[in-house]
Amino acid sequence: MNRPADRLRIAMQKSGRLSDPARNLLKQAGFQFRSDKDQLFCYGEDCAIDLVLVRDDDIPQLIAENVCDLGIVGRNVLQEKALELRGSAHCGLQELMPLAFGGCRLSLAVPNSQLWQNAADLEGQRIATSYPELLADFLQQRGIRADIVALKGSVEIAVKLGKADAICDLVSSGATLVANGLKETEIILQSEAVLACQNTPFGDSRDGLLANFIARIEGVMKVQGSKLIICQTGKCDLASVLKLLPDAVAPTISPVWGMDDTLNIQALCQSAVTWQRLEAMKLAGARGLMVLPVEKLLA
């Protein structure tokens, strides 16, 4: 299917763990769409971007088949499909950037009672998973021969049901493993939601649209948790105050009108600005400390 060259089409999860955070990210980046959440196609109102809402498992394939240009999907789903499509006639897939939500890990787990030294213990065992390609890749890299039992869901009860000796499944808090008498033994993949796309440039105006899209998303991600600190200090205390701002990006130091000994500091901080830090800055000589939220940032 040919894609219109003047609009970007992004595939996103219709409903599930990634749908609300993905929607919020686009909203924070200033993109608005016509339609409500239940509809499958959302038209970008003031931007050349449209959304297609689908099951997360379908997102990589839609990109590979050129039906969608981009996708917001878990790295676990993206890498599984990329391995599955290796050597096929479809376009290759790539991760453009991590999006810092939907964090989890794809891990091996065995019954609590089983002794565990390392992954070689899995030799000759049956391992249930919904990620057969990632698991096969992991086993192959370590020269381990095991039977992969591919399941669409309910992987965590496969051992109880006698269908497998171990599992390879997504874990976040670990509560599901504990509830099923399993222990996590090795992480195969650290995952989070990512922005995915084909691994070749579009070669038309979508390349420019994509560059603008990424700049806005990066801007939103940079300001998440960022704070602007403004304060004044005597010239002699400047070095001590700046020592307490190690995360400040190129702080601006400027003179204060009519106060020769005083300097104004303006600094964008990328980690938490706690009361303790402000108190330490005051002790070091800072005055008139102000902490402001950052709404937008375009590098």
Q: By CB under 6 A, name the binding residues for ligand PRT.
A: 13, 16-18, 55-57, 74, 76-77, 102, 104, 156, 169-176, 191
Tokens of 40: 């499958």
- Judged by CB under 5 A, the stretch of 57-65, 150-158, 206-214, 291-299 that binds Zn ion is 57-65
Cβ closest to Zn ion, residue 8 vs residue 93: 93
Cβ closest to ligand PRT, residue 112 vs residue 271: 112
Tokens of 47: 């931007």
- Judged by CB under 5 A, the stretch of 55-63, 97-105, 109-117, 239-247 that binds Zn ion is 55-63
Cβ closest to ligand PRT, residue 192 vs residue 247: 192
Cβ closest to Zn ion, residue 56 vs residue 121: 56
Q: Which does 133 bind (CB under 5 to 8 A by kind): ligand PRT, Zn ion, none?
A: none
CA 203, 191, 25, 43 torsion: positive or negative?
positive
DSSP bridge partners of 98: 194
How many Cα atoms occupy the beta-carbon half-sphere of 39 within 13 Å? 9
DSSP bridge partners of 106: 170, 189
With 0-12 CB in 10 A as exposed, 13-18 as middle and 19+ as buried, what is 293?
exposed
3-state class of 168 per DSSP?
Answer: strand
Q: Which of 57, 84, 95, 184 binds Zn ion (CB under 5 A)?
A: 57
Q: Which of 50, 56, 165, 237 binds Zn ion (CB under 5 A)?
A: 56
Task: Please enumerate in sequence order all residues whose Cβ is within 8 A of that of 137, keeping only pairs 6 or more positions apart, or say none.
Answer: 83
CB of 63 to ligand PRT, least distance (A): 15
Distances (CA, A) of 194 to 49, 69, 78, 100, 216: 18, 14, 9, 8, 15
**Sites for Zn ion among residues 221-250 (CB under 5 A):** none
CB 98 within 8 A of CB 217: no
CB of 179 to ligand PRT, least distance (A): 8
Residue 133 touches Zn ion, criterion: CB under 5 A: no
CB of 182 to ligand PRT, least distance (A): 11
Report how far residue 96's alpha carbon sits from residue 81's, in angstroms, rounded to the nearest whole number. 16
Give the interface with Zn ion as residue ranges (CB under 5 A).
56-57
